[in-house]
A and B are shown apart, each in its own frame.
Chain A
Amino acid sequence: MEDNNKTYWKGIEELSNNTDFVKSAQNEFPEYLSVKEKKKGKSNVPSDDITGTNRRDFLKMLGFGVTAVSLAACDAPVRKAIPYLNKPEEIDASIANYYASTYVDSSGDYSSVLVKTREGRPIKIEPNAMSSITPTGTSTRAQASLLDLYDQERLKGPWVKATNKLTTWEDVDGKISSQLQQGGAIRIVSSSIISPTTRKVIQEFISKYPTATHVVYDAVSYSGIIKANNASFGRAVIPSYNFANADIIVGISADFLGSWPNSTENSYQYGQTRKVGQNKKQMSRHYQFETILSLTGANADYRSPIKPSQEGLVVAALYNRIARQTGGSAVNTPDLKIAYLEEAAKDLLAAKGKAVVVSGSNDVNVQTMVNAINNLLGAYGPVIDLNTPVNLKQGDDSAMANFVQEVKNGQVAAVIFYDANPVYNYPAGKEFATNLQKVKLKVSFASSLDETAALCDYVCPNHNYLEAWNDAEPKRGFYSLGQPTISPVFKTRAAQESLLTWSGNPQDYYTYLRNNWRQTIFPSASGFNSFDDFWNKSLHDGVFETRSAAPVNVAIPSIQEVPSSNAAPASTGSAVSFSGDVNAAASAIGSTYKAANQTVELCIYEKTGLGNGEQANNPLLQEFPDPISRACWGNYVAIPQSMANSMELEQDEIVRVDIQGKQPLELPVLIQPGQADGTIAIAVGYGREIAGKAGKNVGKNAYPFIQYNGTTLSYTQPSVKLTKTGEKHQIAQVQTHHTIMARPIVQEANLKEYQANPAAGRYAPKIATAEGPKKPGEISIWDEHSYTNHSWGMVIDLNSCIGCGACVVSCNVENNIPVVGRQEVINRREMHWLRIDRYYSSDADPEDKSISGYKNLEQASANPEVVFQPMLCQQCGNAPCETVCPVIATAHSSEGLNMMAYNRCIGTRYCANNCPYKVRRFNWFKYNNNEEFDYHMNNDLGKMVLNPDVTVRSRGVMEKCTFCVQRIQLGKLEAKKQRRRPVDGEIVTACASVCPTNAIVFGDLLDPESRVAKIRQAEYEKRAFEVLNEINTKPQISYLTKIRNKEVSNKQA
């Protein structure tokens, strides 16, 4: 090919080659096309002006910029995980440590607990099996108490009201000490303190400041019992009960399983009497006479609603019936007809020595009468133990009333509030708040601002119990220790240390505690070489129990400080004799109580979950549904159906409750079956005005309705007026249908039927086939799963489940279950994996299959039988949820579990729809890091409670119970490491581990030695049933029939 040397000109200029062109030929762009920035108005700037950005620079910068930005964008997020520089000896990442400690609250709960910590933060509370008081379980509040620790609204250091700022401890110490030394009456106002060492600290403070006295008061007081015992036996105590020894229990407005002090132990004992089985065909019989349907009443075999105004007469009537038969002298009170009263008396007499009557009344006369009955029944000794009093409630209403009067009179110079919030929970709290201004120095140990603390000059925040050393003596001779499981989150200080500092003994409380134990408790211990051995053992065990009824010879001030007129010293271990004046009590009862009161009466009660409201800012407790009404996030006026009918009230309608001389209260009504006719009930613990976000202004405060009658606080009002307001406020309930609709979901029988036939009450459905009727499991389209290694199963005894709900909160904490708030509960979206279904019986005929028949079944009886059924994932062998998931996000394990892979879930909710038990929960929103759900999962501190072994679920995924698979895996690994099989009891689900009555038993069905396998074996085709086994779901959970100790079983639905 020829060379082609054609030349093209770029323009006519090149061709002519004129000088202008040659000069600028090396410039790529001619001047008039310059890419360089031109300054305005100066078109002839020299081209070598370096201030302009040329194209290449621009590209360079662009390149650099894009790279830099993309590099920055690719940077991994900064994680704030800080590794241990020096690893603490006992902490291994991902291995949990357990420390024994003690949970006590001002509502009267005591549990000896094990605190599970992970990497130095407490994440779970477990019962301490070494305690003989609460070996099996804890209360709901103990389970939820972790969130009190991780409450970001706690005070972060000492607070001064004058400046509304935090300050240093030196600063407040100086100011408080100097003010204390100015003299004048000093009052330490506290709720019941069961810590002997703390009481010693207070004594020391009092000896330093002789003008000081200690006023003990309880928001919900049991002062009546204490005073009555003082009058009857010369012992100003609440006795301890041993319900396990009682064959007949008669409760008169006594919620001993729910809101009573020491209810966890009571439940444990009660549960033992309720269990029946192959070798035990007897159970206790429980009568309950009460106004509200309490948790205890719901468990009773016979329950009669009574008005508060009848309470005393019921006790007196019972007394008369017993006295006539036992040679006691009958008293002269109007008799009244109450259902089951005769039967109760007859049974009590027949079971003399194994029968007990308990009353929740705070009226000394009523309690005296109850003491008299128990005395006649020989309950003192076998069932009631006056020598081992319960210290959980020591409040003295009259002492508190005196104090309030002193404050009013301006006689108090300084007051220190310790676990006390009288502005909120004293009936005359509002007035007290105004009078409090007359006190010069007001100090509170509240850990966060509450109604009282906010009025105090200084708040010296106490540690949370999980951060602090402490001890406790819940019952005489039963000691337990509390130890810190995390270093203080904020700059708080133990209240004891504050008191010691102010009394001029600036000692750390740990040393003080140890010394006190060395001096006072160690001497009563035997078998230890040194105090250190004793201390270490006690600290390890969490408890030290002398176990003998005789109390140790303690130099610490006697727990019973209630001024007693008889002034009988707490004699030790001696027999007691009843010396109460029955006739005086009877005449007082006769004048106070009426057989037939016409006015509407009010009963004020405490919720099983929230208690006295101290922990109102705990979202877990707020969301914990009341076991009976299944309502949460607020209180309400419980009214009987009859009143709803006569007043034409519907649920959620707001009524105004007027009591003469009191501020009226406006609350929505809840129609409560079992509520005595002509009475209403309101729970205390709500209506906190100064609390954190979760607790503030939830419900209304009912404490002002409590009446002080001169000796004790009365939790009833004989005459209230109810007016409709026409407004509505929806009550958040997790269950809105209350009857069982005659379905065999809960199967029950009465004791006699059961004794005759262990399978009594069982529903045995048969499926009709061509070869005749067959059992549901016998025909199946499924290939059975084979479990070769383990088969995890559960047995739930409906007879010993009392419905307390500790398992629910335990599950919440263990499995990082989000709190969703009132509106979402109203929307029926609470996230609880485990719930306790509560069903009321109905008066309708279960055989009536007509439309009206079904409508009648929906109506609960006025005084219903109640049954509780813990409902959680049944881990079906033929799981309806598994087959329908399009992406196999839920699948079956080789150990009988129904697993959830949250990551795989795309959220079609088909599984939840197809679940016959409705135990699946869907994350409708993102419940963590979401302002809309501003609970513990929305802040860094609150998130510390999360269990690192359980995924926090994102929005759009389904979740459910997996039998705490993380615990199963851990247990299996532990066993594997030790080259053995897991031992029964080693792997326990969160629910089973905290059940006070051991109603939930979990284990390996393939292990013939396991309790669960044995129960299943023993109860096969007897009491054990699977819910809905007619649809062949093959659950891994068996329920044991509910047995009621009734003469005739209720044939109604």
Chain B
Amino acid sequence: MSQVVSPVREPLVIGGKTYADVTEDVCRQVEGKPTKLWLICFTLALITLGYGSYCLFYTWWTGIGVWGLNKTVGWAWDITNFVWWVGIGHAGTLISAILLLFRQKWRTSINRAAEAMTIFAVLCAASFILAHMGRPWLAHWALPLPNTYGSLWVNFNSPLVWDVFAISTYLTVSLVFWYIGLIPDLATIRDRARNKVSKFVYGAMSFGWDGSAKTWARYESVSLILAGLSTPLVLSVHTIVSFDFATSVIPGWHTTIFPPYFVAGAIFSGFAMVLTLMLITREVFNLKEYITIGHMESMNKIIMLTGSIVGVAYITELFIAWYSGVQYEQYAFLNRATGPYWWAYWSMMTCNVISPQLFWIRKIRRSVAATFILSIIVNIGMWFERFVIIVTSLHRDYLPSSWAMFYPTMYDIGDYIFSFGLFFTLFLLFAKFLPVVNMAEVKAILKSSSAKVAEKRGAAVQTDFQARPAFNKDVE
């Protein structure tokens, strides 16, 4: 953690923060009374959750016939929402695992919230796995459980079973990774706690962290191991989710490009969601010194990259459809762009392909307002992407006699609202009761990449840089 960061880089923590400042700034939210803003947000989240729960309950009580699905379109908002949430859930692990392995220090101040977001997003996704079933009370049959039926087993050929494994593994590993990272910070809060309840609760939650060098060493190695474990998961989960479609025979689904395309899309939407949340959090909790414009810019760059990958994938799909010479395939893609759901396709294209290209402009990349708006647009676009893939492929597949339209009902919408309610309730609880920024890790970079360091070294480096422009470049 203590590799030296090049002084020409923008400092990751600004405002001349000290270790004590870090602790103080982050713990203030946890220790203080809930702010008015938080209370308002939380109430709204609870109302949303309440309405959503009613809709979901009604759906489960009556049957998923309350949705707009039909004989031709068997999946629509349910699986769209599922894939969308899983995709969002990718950013957290990517930031904490892959960026950790790549030694990207800018991850430190956002990884905690991003991981929390991952877990909540995966929970939301899981709620759609349950909800979309005709008989959710038998959901455990999708698990390879021992049973009294003899050799009755799950179908290991089915991508849905792979999904079950992929999602549950991902959720478990993310949860463990996130929690391990929380322990040193929980111990800090425990040590600062002034009342018994929080002392007890945070004490129990910090597993007797003692802060010794040995403990730190173990912590570091566990983090690395978990990072190593989660890295393939980042790629595998959405790859497997994409198999739900790629292994099928439906034109528009049966596409080999899906795995990389889905992973890129997932990172794309995940980063956008992290940005949406972090931009609010830094504002509400006044963490601007930790979550800086530089952070935002780095993430915007990733969004731009993944957005471009997604764009290339869209165009590749079109090309392959034409090149395949398969009329069903050709029609599926033509229909996407020009059929009754053209508006969904073009919303997707605009939001996902065109809008992130704006980040080539530095001003936009570094503008909080623009980033906030674009981050939401990206997630709208990614929702449409899944909707386009699922619904426009299904609604006009092989036999024209079965072609149909899908129209959402209030329960399609209500159940989607439920997931928002769940997500924001959980996120707000997290933001209030747990440290939203990883204090320990931020402290670790304070010496190498804070504004102070930059100030101190700044002048000297500048001169040096001008005096020896070829420094470190003459490798021969």
Query: Taking beta carbons and an 8 Å cutoff, which residues of A are in contact with B?
Result: 735-743, 745, 824, 827-830, 835, 837-839, 849, 851, 854-855, 869, 871, 880, 883-888, 904-910, 912-914, 916-918, 920-926, 954-958, 1027-1028, 1031, 1033
A741→B331 contact, CB < 8 A: yes
The answer to whether B235 has its CB under 8 Å from any CB of chain A is no
Query: Taking beta carbons and an 8 Å cutoff, which residues of B are in contact with A?
Result: 62-65, 68-72, 74-75, 132-136, 138-139, 141-142, 152-155, 157-161, 164, 244, 247-250, 327-328, 330-331, 334-335, 338, 394, 396-405
Interface of A is mostly: loop
Q: Contacting A958 at CB < 8 Å: which of B70, B134, B249, B400?
A: B134
Instruction: Kindly list chain B residues whose C-beta atoms are within 8 Å of the C-beta of A880.
Output: 248-249
Q: Which of A854, A918, A956, A1027 has the most CB of B within 10 A?
A: A918
23 example contacts (A-B, Cβ-Cβ < 8 A) are as follows: A745-B400, A827-B68, A828-B404, A829-B70, A829-B71, A830-B71, A838-B401, A854-B334, A854-B335, A883-B157, A884-B158, A886-B161, A887-B154, A906-B139, A909-B69, A909-B132, A909-B134, A916-B250, A918-B402, A922-B71, A923-B134, A957-B134, A1028-B398
Q: Which of B154, B338, B398 has the most CB of A within 10 A?
A: B398
Q: How far is the CA of A738 from the CA of B402 in the complex (A)?
A: 10
Instruction: Kindly list chain A residues whose C-beta atoms are within 8 Å of the C-beta of B155.
Output: 883, 885-888
Q: How far is the CA of A845 from the CA of B400 in the complex (A)?
A: 17
Closest residue of chain A to B70, judged by CB?
A828
Instruction: Kindly list chain A residues whose C-beta atoms are within 8 Å of the C-beta of B405.
Output: 736, 828
B250→A914 contact, CB < 8 A: yes
B330→A849 contact, CB < 8 A: yes
Q: How far is the CA of A957 from the CA of B138 in the complex (A)?
A: 11
Closest residue of chain B to A923, judged by CB?
B134
Closest 9 CB pairs of A and B: A907-B134, A956-B134, A924-B65, A828-B70, A837-B401, A909-B74, A918-B402, A956-B135, A886-B160
B74→A922 contact, CB < 8 A: yes
Known contacts A828-B404, A851-B338, A914-B250: does B63 contact A956 (CB below 8 Å)? yes
Q: Which of A743, A838, A916, A917 has the most CB of B within 10 A?
A: A916
Known contacts A854-B334, A925-B63, A956-B63: does B400 contact A740 (CB below 8 Å)? yes
Closest residue of chain B to A911, judged by CB?
B74
Known contacts A887-B154, A924-B64, A924-B65: does B161 contact A908 (CB below 8 Å)? no
Closest residue of chain B to A890, judged by CB?
B155
Q: How far is the CA of A737 from the CA of B141 in the complex (A)?
A: 38
A888→B249 contact, CB < 8 A: no
Q: How far is the CA of A343 from the CA of B154 in the complex (A)?
A: 64
Instruction: Kindly list chain A residues whose C-beta atoms are within 8 Å of the C-beta of B394.
Output: 913
Q: How far is the CA of A830 from the CA of B68 in the complex (A)?
A: 14
Q: How far is the CA of A838 from the CA of B70 in the complex (A)?
A: 20
Min Cβ gap B35→A in Å is 43
B134→A827 contact, CB < 8 A: no
A921→B71 contact, CB < 8 A: yes
Instruction: Kindly list chain B residues whose C-beta atoms are within 8 Å of the C-beta of A905.
Output: 134-135
B65→A925 contact, CB < 8 A: yes
Min Cβ gap A917→B in Å is 6
B71→A955 contact, CB < 8 A: no
Instruction: Kindly list chain A residues whose C-beta atoms are within 8 Å of the C-beta of B142.
Output: 886-887, 906
A741→B400 contact, CB < 8 A: yes
Q: How far is the CA of A949 from the CA of B247 in the complex (A)?
A: 36
Instruction: Kindly list chain B residues whose C-beta atoms are within 8 Å of the C-beta of A885.
Output: 155, 158, 160
Q: How far is the CA of A741 from the CA of B403 in the complex (A)?
A: 11
Instruction: Kindly list chain A residues whose C-beta atoms are within 8 Å of the C-beta of B135.
Output: 905-907, 954-957
B158→A883 contact, CB < 8 A: yes
Min Cβ gap A565→B in Å is 52
Q: How far is the CA of A917 from the CA of B398 in the complex (A)?
A: 7
Instruction: Kindly list chain A residues whose C-beta atoms are within 8 Å of the C-beta of B250.
Output: 913-914, 916
Min Cβ gap B396→A in Å is 8
Q: How far is the CA of A558 from the CA of B39 in the complex (A)?
A: 92
Instruction: Kindly list chain B residues whose C-beta atoms are within 8 Å of the C-beta of A887.
Output: 141-142, 154-155
A736→B403 contact, CB < 8 A: yes
Closest residue of chain A to B324, judged by CB?
A768
Q: How far is the CA of A1031 from the CA of B249 in the complex (A)?
A: 8
Known contacts A906-B142, A909-B75, A922-B71: does B160 contact A916 (CB below 8 Å)? no
Min Cβ gap A912→B in Å is 4
A924→B158 contact, CB < 8 A: no
A884→B160 contact, CB < 8 A: yes
A907→B133 contact, CB < 8 A: yes
B134→A906 contact, CB < 8 A: yes
Instruction: Kindly list chain B residues whose C-beta atoms are within 8 Å of the C-beta of A906.
Output: 133-136, 138-139, 141-142
B133→A908 contact, CB < 8 A: yes
Instruction: Kindly list chain A residues whose C-beta atoms are within 8 Å of the C-beta of B74.
Output: 909-910, 912-913, 922
Instruction: Kindly list chain A residues whose C-beta atoms are within 8 Å of the C-beta of B158.
Output: 883-886, 910
Q: How far is the CA of A880 from the CA of B74 in the complex (A)?
A: 15
Known contacts A743-B327, A743-B400, A886-B142: does B71 contact A918 (CB below 8 Å)? yes
Min Cβ gap B252→A in Å is 11
Q: How far is the CA of A916 from the CA of B396 in the complex (A)?
A: 11
Instruction: Kindly list chain B residues whose C-beta atoms are within 8 Å of the C-beta of A1033.
Output: 249
Q: How far is the CA of A735 from the CA of B403 in the complex (A)?
A: 8
A912→B71 contact, CB < 8 A: yes
Q: Contacting A925 at CB < 8 Å: which of B62, B138, B335, B338?
A: B62
Closest residue of chain B to A914, judged by CB?
B248
Min Cβ gap A775→B in Å is 16
Q: Which of B338, B394, B400 has the most CB of A within 10 A?
A: B400
Contacts A887-B154, A1033-B249 supplied; 13 other A-B pairs, CB < 8 Å: A736-B405, A739-B400, A743-B327, A830-B71, A854-B338, A886-B142, A886-B161, A887-B141, A909-B132, A910-B74, A910-B75, A910-B158, A918-B402
Q: Contacting A916 at CB < 8 Å: which of B154, B397, B403?
A: B397
Q: How far is the CA of A926 from the CA of B60 in the complex (A)?
A: 12
Min Cβ gap B379→A in Å is 25
Instruction: Kindly list chain B residues whose C-beta atoms are within 8 Å of the C-beta of A913.
Output: 74-75, 248, 250, 394
Closest residue of chain A to B62, judged by CB?
A925
Closest residue of chain B to A829, judged by CB?
B70
Instruction: Kindly list chain B residues whose C-beta atoms are within 8 Å of the C-beta of A908.
Output: 132-134, 160
Q: How far is the CA of A835 from the CA of B72 in the complex (A)?
A: 14
Instruction: Kindly list chain A residues whose C-beta atoms are within 8 Å of the C-beta of B70.
Output: 827-829
B160→A745 contact, CB < 8 A: no
A886→B399 contact, CB < 8 A: no
Q: Contacting A854 at CB < 8 Å: which of B75, B331, B399, B403?
A: B331
